[in-house]
Amino acid sequence: MSIVSIFTTKRERRLWLALVIVLAAIYATLGQTPAIVAALGTDIIESAEANLVFALLILLVVIPIFFIDKRLAHVEIAVGIGIAAVLLLTWLRLGSWEERTHLFEYALVAALVHEALLERKSNGRRVPLPALLALMISMLLGLLDECVQAILPNRVFDPIDVAFNSLAAIVIIGARWLWARLSHWLHSRWRED
């Protein structure tokens, strides 16, 4: 089987490659959070300003996956801003730096998986229920993260982290699914008028 036939487009290949790179970065840094916090200092990590800047940078990474190659109506832009606000507020309400990193990491993982599956489906390949499939794949990758930690020295399997990884996947895929439904509804209404 040639590599050309595995992927439907170059874009799909880039999305899966981006996912592999993100997962490699996540798994390569397992257990490094305490050292990173120590290097940066607790005061900086816990400051509202640093968290706000970091959250906004995260949105600059995750949000383009939503909107790439799209022409948006005013209502869609308003909904997108609402989704961004919910993600930002969720980020700021989480108690610890580690919880926040789980939200970012697995939101990005889930968005990449979902977008790759949608790209695959749009090019004629059979992808049943892409949102649900992306959610299951993302949750399994989050579980794998914790299973790897179970075998590392000074790390443990933490079901709460599995829950945060899953929550991130649910939030981003749920938001993307709702976004797609809204866009479809808006476009069908415009065609009727």
Q: Are 158 and 98 in contact (CB under 8 A)?
A: no
* Cα separation, 22 vs 130, whole angstroms: 20
- 3-state DSSP call for residue 45? helix
- Enumerate the domain spans of the chain: 3-192
Q: How far apart are CA 155 and CA 153, in angstroms?
A: 5
> What is the distance between the alpha carbons of residues 100 and 78, in angstroms, rounded to a whole number?
25
Can you give the pLDDT at residue 185? 81
**What's the alpha-carbon Rg for the chain, to the nearest Å?**
18
Q: Please tell me what DSSP assigns to residue 86.
A: H
Q: Pick 76 or 174 by higher pLDDT.
A: 174
57-61, 70-74, 101-105: range with lowest mean pLDDT: 70-74
Question: What does pLDDT average to over the chain?
Answer: 77
Percentage of residues in the chain having pLDDT higher than 70: 60
pLDDT at 93: 62
Predicted structure pTM score: 0.74
